[in-house]
Amino acid sequence: MVTAHERDETFEVIDNHLVRKVVPRRGEPYEHRCPRASFEQVAHAIDELGNESFTLESLVERENLPFTQVAVALAFFKERGIIETRYRRNYAATGAVHLDAMTEYFALAEND
Angle (CA) 46 90 22, round 5°: 95
pLDDT tens across 85-96, in order?
Answer: 999 899 999 889
Q: What is the pLDDT along the chain (112 residues), one digit of tens a residue?
A: 344 456 789 999 999 999 999 998 888 999 999 999 999 999 999 999 999 999 999 999 999 999 999 999 999 999 999 999 999 899 999 889 999 999 999 999 998 6
Question: Which fold is adopted by the domain 35-111?
Answer: Arc Repressor Mutant, subunit A (1.10.10)
SS3 98: helix
pLDDT at 26: 87
DSSP string for residues in 50-86? TT--B-HHHHHHHHT--HHHHHHHHHHHHHTTSEEEE
- Write down the pTM of the prediction: 0.91
pLDDT at 3: 47
CA atoms within 13 A on the CB side of 29: 7
Stretch (H or E) spanning 18? strand 17-24
pLDDT at 111: 83
pLDDT at 103: 97
pLDDT at 34: 98
